[in-house]
Structures are given as structure tokens and as C-alpha cells.
Structure 1
């Protein structure tokens, strides 16, 4: 199918100002991100050592869904697609498919080389409903904690590292989901080092159905955590489990023993 003239124009520059004016529900933006930023699922064999790659997060999800096959997932903060992945076990063992989002330019080539059977978006998630250019901080010695905004102290994790700063493209979440026709999501994993709440606020929950949410809350105060709980409760989600780093929510329309 030929690319429309409008999309072709948008692709002529690195990141034209006109793109930033597009709303996340604009079909033109959805076409733009698919052409510019999305890599389709690999049809080649996996490119990493064998293993189940089950972690605590994916184990809980598999239990909730009673080892359901062919489910759907979304994972932001995908890192290299293998280390600490919340979705790889579901993909490998049960044939789940979905979308991985990673914005660290040092990590993205490694992620793509793993040959995951999921779409890959090489962008940050925008904290608004429009695209943006945002400041990004990367810890030289600990890739998983790359983040939007300023560096944070990682000494609590036993990591003392210098940081580098640069700018990245950020795309609204709904535009990415729409571009790959992923609006029915069984498992939604959001781990983006402190930008989670703003991203949640951009989701049109009347257009995207999510059953289970696992999100990092490490960088939020108790007051903001309560705000997040109230926000998601208003959207039909109940807090099912919480720890120092993560909160786990299940939508009221989904029964834990199956739907």
C-alpha cells in the first residue's frame, strides 16, 4: 500500500514540529509511528540461551490467567528483552504476543537482536497525548535505570555511576497501541522510572481494555501512590498486591479464576 502524501511529508525530517501537533488518536500519527518507530515481531529463532525466563511478575500473571495461551501483553521498560523481562516467559511458554517499548538508544539494538516475537517501539512514552522531545538520562554502568528527566541516586541499589544526558523522541501510548491494533491487553507492564502516572493519565480507557496492570511505584511518595490507586480505582481497577517497588492491579471485569 503506498504511503499517503501527508505521512511521506512527516518522514522527511528527523522529527518535524508538525508531528508534535498531532493528537494520539490521529490516524496520521499512528501511521507515522508505525513507519518510523515500530519493528515487527521476528520470524527467526530466538537469539539468546534457552531457559524459561520466568520471574515473579510473569509467574503471578501466568497463575492469574491459569496458563492461558495466546494472550496479549504490553511492556514498557523492556530493556534488552531478556534480562528481568516481565513478558518473555508468557511469550515463550504460552505463545503470548504484544508490544515492547524501550527508549534507551544504547539498549535498543540489543533488544532487536534478541528476535522477540513481539512488536518493538524504539521511543519513549510521552507523558502527554502528543509527541514531544524530552530530556533523557542514562546511567553508564546500569542500563535498566535509564529514565526521563534528571539522574537519580542509585546508591541504594549498590550502584555508583556517572550519567549521560541527551534528547529522545516521545510518542503517546495510544498512538503506539493503535498502530499495532493492540487495544485488548491481558497484561500491561509499566516500568519507566518515575513517569508511570503521567503515562497512565493519557490512556483512553474507553478505547483500551486492560485486565491486569503491573507498574513500578518506587519513585513515588505515599501520597502519590494513593493518588494512583484512586485514579485506577475510578477506571475500574482494584489494587491486588503492593511492595516497595511495584503495585499490581486487576480490573473488576476480570475474574481472577478466568474471564
Structure 2
């Protein structure tokens, strides 16, 4: 026996007939004999989904259309809630189907639709679109002039040049997309195929027997082989008390699970923390991402996100629905609500993987303007502690990765974009990682825009103009003092601050802690330059620089050391970062201030 088909008991009971055919009975390239199986399965008709159906154009809706959509939901959802409460037993599937119909009916009336384009090119990005628009524009000019041919005609020459540029950009984008796909496949592969084939080839010349040996038992009959496999997989999924088995962690999980079961079941409570509130439900739905594919019911995330507001009945319905599910599907509450209350989506944690990388990669600097090496030149030390706020993906433009790998530093990476946090985790850096923002409030709306993303309340027009597409997501926020309390670390050797224009706002949240000496920093590098996509916005850059100088003058204890730039220009308003150093730390090492003044 080479293959097994696993199915649950309900399918097994519907087995009516099976037959193992003789070799050569049908044309087959398989290594084992063909099997014919007949099941008595009930008819389950379903609606054939047409991929070319019209779908709501959520990314083009106006505020008036959203308001109309919400008004159309209010009365039907309110009636559905009353219907649910009027019966002691409610069929969840029937309620869900009715709710889906309400969503689709409201969206059909209020939201414009567009067709699905089956020929969309996945590599088509902003650069390709820009080159394509330019090529189309030049072609129109050429057509208007009568389609002259010959390089001595300006319109023809410019059209051909734009066309060649478009093809070049398109090919580069396609190659980059395919490379990313291959990289994803390599990262997510569950086994090394080459190694697997190599292991198979090792046994190709060996003689084989119609038996297998497991745990010193020889199995040579179909029944004994089947029992052997069953025993093997049973043992495989049983945890063993080995040296590398974390029994303490297993016990902690079992204890937490038993407490949840006790609280939710025996004591009659709904969930640790009390009844689920409408605010919690709304926040969870608010974290759904836009422009994601719908499931079989064709409900998109936008159906819920645009429907759940404090002015609609949607939150009440979802809350009522969860209350009913609560008695039957406990796991939904544990995964969604309990995880949200305990972890608030993501929390800081440490990765315990090996830090060093073979070869010379430990000596690669990724910073834009030598921030990492400047820090080490000012205060050369091993095993320091850093905070990098605005960590991006943990490697590209990182001001701390070189310090970590080359000189054994560790620290805290802070990044609000959840997608970038996932990329940080894949690097296995020896750091704590906080996925959230530093603020006095509990949560904030974050605009996802790759390296240009930021908190929506502090987003400026220069940043917005540079984004070809962006999405909003709700992220948790924490006080830096609270985070450092968890780490039990209050002296930071290096603080890198790059939060796309919100640097002073972040600094204001820790002003009192810096004044009181509750938090001390040896070196700061803070980005202040403003870029509009084409050039430096000198006026806004100078405003940021002056604000930073006034801030450190007010809190005292720090002095400006220098400025850093990713080009040859190092001047006020044109440099990328400004560097501040702790006066006491500096004077203990050098005796005089960076500007040559006396240390007091």
C-alpha cells in the first residue's frame, strides 16, 4: 500500500462500493494499482459564480454613496436583530444568509459597480502605469500630426522613445514580480526538493522487500502495514519529554486554556474581561484590509467596514450574532476577542534565533547616510542597546542592523505598518519588535504606503502626493515609558527616529521622561528633511530642524553634534538627519563639547 485517503466518518459511512483494478485494466502512469470508489453523497446544488459578474467599486465611492449605503442597512438589520431575539432557537446559517442578502441589496442600490478584468497584469505598478500613460500620450500626438514616419519628425521620434521606455519598464517590472514570486516560494517551501530527491536516489540500487520494520516489528501483510502507519502517525503527534521539548510552555498554554474554559463555561461568563462590547467588534472589523478578494458569499471586507459605524445598526447585529455563536463555537471567541484583549493584535517579543550569519554579511551597512557607523565612531562599544523607531522592514535603510550583526548590539524595533512587521519577523533579528505606534492614545489610523507610510493625523500633502496607492489600517499605540518598563531598560545608547514628519510629535510624548532623567539617550539621529517626490522642500525642512533644536534646548542635557546626508550636501535644511549627543556621556569621553566649548 503506497497511498492513503483520509476522510471523516460521515464520508466513510457513505461508501457504497470500491474495487482495486488489475494492472493494465486502464491506462495509468501511477506506481500503484487503480482504485474505483463509489460514494452515496447527497445532492448539494450551488450557484455557479461568474468571474465576470459586476462587483462594487468600493475604491471609487463617495461619501454620499457610503451614507446612502449605511442608511439602507439600518432598517433591515434592525428587523433582523428583532427577529433573532424573538426566537429561543436561531438557525445561524439562515441568519447569515439573510444578512448577506441585506448587504448585497444595499450595495447594489448605493454603490457603483465595475466588471472584473481577467487580463489584469499582476506586475503592473505605478512606474509601469506612468510609462504607459506617457507612451499613450506621445502616440496621440503622433496620430494628430498625421502619423508621419522617420526619426526626423519630432512626434515620431518621441513616440518611439516613449514606447521603448515603456517596454523596458514593463519587462523590468515583470522580472521583479516573477523574482518575488520565486522568493516567496523558496521561503514558504515546506521541504527542500533537491535534498528529498537526493535521499531517494541513495536507495535506488538497494534490494527491496514486501515488508516494513517499525519499532523492531516486521509488518508484511496489508493489515499489519496499515496498523503500523497508524501507530507511526499516532506517535508522531504525541509530544515527547525530550531535551528540546518546552514542557514549561506547554503547561502554561494548558493552564491558560483551562482558565478560559472554566470562566466561559462553568462560571457562566462570556469571556475573560466581561461581555463583548460594540466598540471591540467595531475595532476588529476596522482592521480588515481593503481590496481583498471575496469568498463564496461574495461579501467583501468593505461591505462590513463601511457598514459598521456608530450611526448604524451593523455593530449591534454583529454583537448579537457573536452572542449567539458564543454558546456553540467557543473557539471563535478565543481566537478573535481574547487574542485582541490580551495582545491588542501584536505585542513586543524577543526572537531567540542565532544572530550571526556566515560570511561577510555581518559587515554590511544598510543605512542611508552612515548613521550606524557614525554612532559607532562617536561612541565605539560592543553590545549596546538601541531603539529604531520607523524600522521599515528591518533591513532596507536600517540604521541598526550593522550594529547588531557586527558589534553584538540589541534593542527595540518599532514599526506601525503590520505588513512590514511580518517582514521584520522573517529576518530573525535578535531584538524586541513592537508593531504599533508611540502615542498617548490607545490606537491610531495608519496609512500604509511602504516607506512613506505614517499616522493619518500627521500625514502631509507632500507624502500623500508621492503615493500611487495606499490603504488605511487601525494600529495599537503604546507609551514608550510603558514599553521600556516591560523591557526593564531605560538607558538607550542609540535612538534612531524616522517617522516621516511626525518626529516632534513623538518626542513630545517622552519630553517629561527625558527632563526627569527617567529615560536617557547617548546618541540621537533624527530625520528632518522634507521631500515632495522631486525636490527638497527647504522651508518645511528648516521648520523641522529649528523645532528639533528648540526641543533639545528646552529639555537640556543634549547638544547638536553634526548633520548627515545621503549626498554631498551637508547644510541646514538640506541634510537628511541631525545628530544630538548626551552632554554628560560625551564629556566623560572627550572632555570638550563637539563645538569646542568647555564642558560644564
* Counterparts of residues 1-259 of structure 1 (less than 5 Å): 9=273, 37-45=347-355, 50-54=361-365, 55=367, 56-66=370-380, 68-126=381-439, 130-139=440-449, 143-149=450-456, 150=459, 152-153=461-462, 161-203=468-510, 204-205=513-514, 206-219=517-530, 220-235=540-555, 236-242=557-563, 243-255=574-586, 258=589
| Distance in 2 between residues matched to 1:72 and 1:186, nearest whole Å | 5
TM-score (norm 1): 0.77
Q: 1:47 to 1:123 in 2, by over 3 A?
A: farther
| Distance in 2 between residues matched to 1:107 and 1:48, nearest whole Å | 25
Structure holding more strand per residue? 1
Superposed displacement of residue 80, structure 1? 1.3
Structure holding more helix per residue? 2
Gaps of 5+ in 2: 1-251, 257-271, 281-341, 531-539, 564-573, 591-600
Superposed displacement of residue 81, structure 1? 1.0
TM-score (norm 2): 0.35
Superposed displacement of residue 46, structure 1? 6.2
| Distance in 2 between residues matched to 1:154 and 1:230, nearest whole Å | 25
* Counterpart secondary structure, 1:37: coil
Count of aligned pairs: 233
| Distance in 2 between residues matched to 1:100 and 1:212, nearest whole Å | 16
Q: 1:197 to 1:154 in 2, by over 3 A?
A: closer
Comparing 161-170 with 245-254, greater Cα deviation is found at 161-170
Q: 1:197 to 1:223 in 2, by over 3 A?
A: same
Larger Rg: 2
Superposed displacement of residue 41, structure 1? 3.2
* Counterpart secondary structure, 2:578: strand
Q: 1:176 to 1:34 in 2, by over 3 A?
A: farther
| Distance in 1 between residues matched to 2:279 and 2:454, nearest whole Å | 20
* RCO higher in structure (CA 8 A, sep ≥6): 1
Q: 1:248 to 1:13 in 2, by over 3 A?
A: farther
Is the 1:53–1:82 Cα contact (8 Å) retained in structure 2? no
Is the 1:34–1:179 Cα contact (8 Å) retained in structure 2? no
Q: 1:33 to 1:231 in 2, by over 3 A?
A: farther
Is the 1:138–1:151 Cα contact (8 Å) retained in structure 2? no
Is the 1:239–1:247 Cα contact (8 Å) retained in structure 2? yes
Is the 1:43–1:117 Cα contact (8 Å) retained in structure 2? yes
Q: 1:202 to 1:81 in 2, by over 3 A?
A: same
Task: Kindly provide the CA deviation profile for residues 152-197 of structure 1, in whole angstroms up to 9, marking residues without a partner as x.
Answer: 44599xx652222222212122211221122110100011111111
Gaps of 5+ in 1: 17-31
Superposed displacement of residue 233, structure 1? 2.1
Superposed displacement of residue 117, structure 1? 0.6
| Distance in 2 between residues matched to 1:124 and 1:15, nearest whole Å | 20
Is the 1:34–1:176 Cα contact (8 Å) retained in structure 2? no
Superposed displacement of residue 257, structure 1? 7.9
